[in-house]
Structure 1
Amino acid sequence: METTDTKELSVMIVGAGLAGVLLALLLERQGISYSILERAQMVKPLGSVMSISANIMPVLEQLGLLEEIERISKPCETIGLYDIPMNKIADMGILDYKRMTGYQPLVFSRPQFYELLVSRIPSHKILRGKRVLSIEETEDSIMISCADKSQYQGDIVVGADGAYSGVRQSLYKRMEHEDILPQSDMESMKVGYVCTVGTTKPMDPEKYPFLQNKATTFSQVVGRDLLSVSKVDSKHYSWHIKDGKGEEAASRNSEWAPETVETSLKEFYALPSPLGGVMKDLIQATPRESISKVFLEEKMFETWHHGRVVLIACHKMLPAAGQGAVNAMEDAVILANCLYDMRATRLSDITEAFQDYREQRYPHAKAQFESSRLVAKLTCGQSMMESFIRQVVFKWLPDSFQRQSSLKTASYRPQISFLPLIENRGEGPLLPQKSSRRRQHEEVEH
């Protein structure tokens, strides 16, 4: 088998979000040369709380990070769904999840998780204030030019720069000019809804005894507006309010100035809180700088790569199933595996690696995209039909149906092929993973 020293490969990652940082960490473990070009001077991860489960935990265990994540997190045991009068629609227990998968779902502060990943990357490899203006590709290399007149040359550009990726827009524009871009990729993302999220300041455990529990619970209230509340740690709560949908949400874009967010939240003060009382208590206990308003959109892109450019997170998912960030990180894992198996840095070898990456990831990302859409309809849907389906699924179908659906999702757990694999400690199913050609070759030689 023809091999090459992967240290000769040079990768430029555009975007220092979770997926870009994880990819950098994986390239660091391989010894591949890379740089992260980040537009912002300081990255502030959107969102306040994040959850992970068996899909990505083996990777974090391989990297030696899982124990540290457990120290900053709370185990999640149940997901409660309520109506406006606070009658419980469903209580989806996941107590046997660990027995079936080997892992207990965890909830933690997204910024804390992000900082943990960043701390494992040499600081000089994250270049901030780098707004990409152009990407020029030749047969042998690719060049990035930034607004500050700096230029960077390498073998590969990875677009990990978010939902409105400048790299993707640049790539698609070039492909559209060449008349090779699918029509569906030219269409805009569909706005699911807009939400306001926040994390409270430290709360009084005497007033909120739930803070003293070792585990946490996601609680969702379904009505005219969707509300969810969860405990981040032993002091803080995270909340999420849906306050617009589709074109209505887009038309309210002018109202999103920071100084108007607090005013707009007043209309939600009277919403019941799953913790007791009303949401006014939690909203007023949230520092202004800890409140953000974001689009929640969805789209599945067909084009993941072309030439020397490859994209991470070509799937924008609604957050109802909590799989958006996890799937982006899974992209980073599979892409790193494919780069590890590259024979050389010729364009033909790069194209082969990128094709392998898409073939491995697309079916699973597509399935999760559809699942997230379904979960959003079940938990957030406001129509009479969606309400009826919600009652059928959560009240009439047996728990075994919900459990099997959860285990099917958990059966996909890609791992890092160039590190020792984590054995399956659960009783549930596990999908096989494509083996590494390079690692098999090296094991034969030894």
Structure 2
Amino acid sequence: MAHAPQGPSPGPSANLSTPEMCLPFTPEEIEQLSKPRVLIAGGGLAGLTLAILLHRANIPFLVFERAKEIKPLGSAIVLGTGVAPVFQQLGIWEEYTRIGKYYLQMGIFDENLKHSYDMKIDWLKRVVQSREYVVSRPELYNLLLSQIPRNRIHLGKRILSFKQDNDGVLLQCSDNSNYVGDILVGADGAYSAVRQHLYKTMKVDKTLPASDDVPLPFSCVCLVGQTDALDPEEFPALHGETCSFNTVLGSSNMCTWTTFTTKSNTICWMVIQFLTKETSKENDSFRNSQWGPEAAEAMAKEVRHFKVPGGKDGKVLTLGAYLDRTPKNLITKVMLEEIVFSTWYGGRTVLIGDGKRRFYMNPTGGVGALMAMHDAVTLANWISTLRLPSVSDLEDVFKEYRAERYPVVKEAFERSQLFTKNLGKNMLSLFVRACMKRLPAWLWRKLVIKNIIAARPQASFLPLVHDTAKVKPQPQPSLLKTMALHKEMAKKNEKIYGMFQLNDLSNT
């Protein structure tokens, strides 16, 4: 078990003011030893973002990832204004914009490729001095991974359980390894082993709300992948400085599929099937966070005839053209659920990202990844203020974290449910599609500003980025509160350093 190092303790008659007995640690060492040791379960976007922030705050941490090797799985992520300030603080914004391809609009088509409308964001640069960028998930993952010392990331660590008490938390893995820390962060996805074990213990203690003691609602299946680098002459959508970003709404098959062109001349694609009662039963036997390659291949055969925009010289292009150019071992089928848990923490354990909520997001904003990163920023701000935290201290901090993030997550969940009304053949679906098609430009801008670009959080322990955007960032309680705490801590540290220097002078 990994414990924080302990210094020698003076004998009962030791006099710390004598030259023979000096303080065993410098004030800087005492400060570092008092910081909490953080165990992060899950090496996804939420876990890696938190790890980077803790690394910059000089807080000890370890990341535990179940996978034995890092594979470039996934499709595309859309991020920009919502992460620009914190990415600038971390010094990775320029690299992110280099690997990303910005977009100005998303085209919406019906399943016969009849153009319905465009969701434009070409005005974004004028109001926030930034753009929205499409980047392949593997490239974003690698960018984040490059910011973390590799010895802090442990692969092949499947978490079995954990124990927590007033002294700390003990993490137990399937390979019989144990790790000790002060805080356990469950960033290990919708099927979070941390969440499941936390809820199990809370249920025994009769502290788990009945609303959280339910199976995950199985509402969607998703097939994602990314092609190899393609020839722009064969696929003209790859030409141009901006990303060709298109979504097709399949009203007859309850599917929606999206394609994105990337900076590296690949095409990222994703197909989401919204399940009815019947199709949900068909997939119910596969209730797992990820199926094997056979299930992905079976779904790929079912969707390869779906038409996609971008055919050369007006020829019909289908999803099969992209599937055939995507490595089979990098095509992934997963299931998506729609739920927001009300319990986000217990004792020394806290959940972020999909560990506390899971729901489909309209791909126009990449909101799922964005919200996971915002969770990480908020939690990191609070963790950075902790020194030798008790369970009570942690629960106070976790309460602040949830109070800031829960309303945002809940609202996004409600928006995601509305998006499914775009599909189907009933009167409600027809009405929703008609409203979306006729949505006034000013109202669309207002929705984007409120739901996507107004949230631009920053880390309180790093130099702040001066935000000169016309649209002011929405209030960030964790930033203001923890900055004030850091100022108080700095004053206390100055006094301690002063006392230490006086002690040194008296011993010379």
Q: Which TM class, normalised by the smaller chain length?
A: over 0.9
Offset, 1:429: 3.5
Q: 2:282 aligns with which of 237, 246, 251?
A: 251
Q: 1:439 aligns with which of 486, 493, 508?
A: 486
Structure 1 consecutive aligned stretches of length 4 or more whose deviation exceeds 4 Å: 253-257, 442-446
Q: Is the 8 A contact 1:53 1:105 kept in 2?
A: yes
Q: 1:284 aligns with which of 321, 324, 328?
A: 324
Q: Is the 8 A contact 1:98 1:426 kept in 2?
A: no
Q: 2:98 aligns with which of 63, 71, 85?
A: 71
- Alpha-carbon displacement from aligned partner over 1:128-169 (angstroms, at most 9, x marks no partner): 222222211121111112222211111111111111000000
Q: Does 1:417 align with 2:460?
A: yes
SS of 2:104's partner is strand
| Amino acid paired to 1:394 | K
Q: Does 1:312 align with 2:347?
A: no
Q: 1:208 aligns with which of 235, 238, 259?
A: 235
Using the size of structure 1 for normalisation, the TM-score is 0.93
Q: Is the 8 A contact 1:132 1:145 kept in 2?
A: yes
Of the structure 1 ranges 68-77 and 33-42, higher mean CA displacement relative to structure 2 is found in: 33-42
Q: 1:267 aligns with which of 273, 282, 302?
A: 302
Offset, 1:389: 1.3
SS of 2:82's partner is coil
Number of the residue aligned with 1:346 = 390
Using the size of structure 2 for normalisation, the TM-score is 0.82
| Amino acid paired to 1:441 | E
| Amino acid paired to 2:443 | F
- Alpha-carbon displacement from aligned partner over 1:280-330 (angstroms, at most 9, x marks no partner): 222222221221111122210100101111111212121314211111111
Offset, 1:382: 5.0
**How far apart, in 2, do the equivalents of 1:351 and 1:219 lie?**
44
Q: Is the 8 A contact 2:225 2:331 kept in 1?
A: yes
Number of the residue aligned with 2:68 = 41
Q: Is the 8 A contact 2:238 2:244 kept in 1?
A: no
SS of 2:215's partner is coil
Q: 2:375 aligns with which of 331, 335, 340?
A: 331
Q: Is the 8 A contact 2:162 2:172 kept in 1?
A: yes
Number of the residue aligned with 1:58 = 85
**How far apart, in 2, do the equivalents of 1:156 and 1:442 lie?**
21
| Amino acid paired to 2:328 | R
Q: Does 1:298 align with 2:338?
A: yes
| Amino acid paired to 2:294 | E
Structure 2: stretches of 5+ with no match in the other structure = 1-29, 495-508
SS of 2:78's partner is strand
Of the structure 1 ranges 36-45 and 191-200, higher mean CA displacement relative to structure 2 is found in: 36-45
Of the structure 1 ranges 265-274 and 83-92, higher mean CA displacement relative to structure 2 is found in: 265-274
Flag the 1:177–1:61 CA change in 2: closer, same or farther, 3 A: same
| Amino acid paired to 1:408 | K
Q: Is the 8 A contact 1:79 1:91 kept in 2?
A: yes
- In terms of fraction of residues, the more strand-rich structure is 1
**How far apart, in 2, do the equivalents of 1:58 and 1:432 lie?**
14
Larger radius of gyration: 2
| Amino acid paired to 2:45 | L
Of the structure 1 ranges 187-196 and 102-111, higher mean CA displacement relative to structure 2 is found in: 187-196
- Alpha-carbon displacement from aligned partner over 1:251-301 (angstroms, at most 9, x marks no partner): 236685423533443333332211122222222222212211111222101
Structure 1: stretches of 5+ with no match in the other structure = none
SS of 1:216's partner is coil
Of the structure 1 ranges 380-389 and 418-427, higher mean CA displacement relative to structure 2 is found in: 380-389
Flag the 1:384–1:352 CA change in 2: closer, same or farther, 3 A: same
RMSD (Å) for aligned C-alpha atoms: 2.1
Q: 2:421 aligns with which of 372, 377, 380?
A: 377
**How far apart, in 2, do the equivalents of 1:425 and 1:377 lie?**
37
Flag the 1:207–1:433 CA change in 2: closer, same or farther, 3 A: same
| Amino acid paired to 2:293 | P
SS of 2:101's partner is strand
Offset, 1:388: 1.7
| Amino acid paired to 1:348 | S
Q: Does 1:402 align with 2:441?
A: no
Q: Is the 8 A contact 1:190 1:246 kept in 2?
A: no
Offset, 1:432: 2.1
Number of the residue aligned with 2:23 = none
| Amino acid paired to 2:70 | V
Q: Does 1:82 align with 2:82?
A: no
Offset, 1:73: 0.9
Number of the residue aligned with 1:390 = 433
Number of the residue aligned with 1:20 = 47
Q: Does 1:226 align with 2:256?
A: yes
Q: Is the 8 A contact 1:130 1:148 kept in 2?
A: yes
Q: Does 1:191 align with 2:215?
A: no
**How far apart, in 1, do the equivalents of 2:308 and 2:469 lie?**
36
SS of 1:239's partner is strand
**How far apart, in 2, do the equivalents of 1:269 and 1:150 lie?**
44
- Alpha-carbon displacement from aligned partner over 1:168-220 (angstroms, at most 9, x marks no partner): 00000000111111111111222231121121122221122221211113211
- Alpha-carbon displacement from aligned partner over 1:330-374 (angstroms, at most 9, x marks no partner): 111111101112254122211111111111111112122222222
**How far apart, in 2, do the equivalents of 1:360 and 1:352 lie?**
13
Q: How many corresponding residue pairs?
A: 441
SS of 1:242's partner is strand
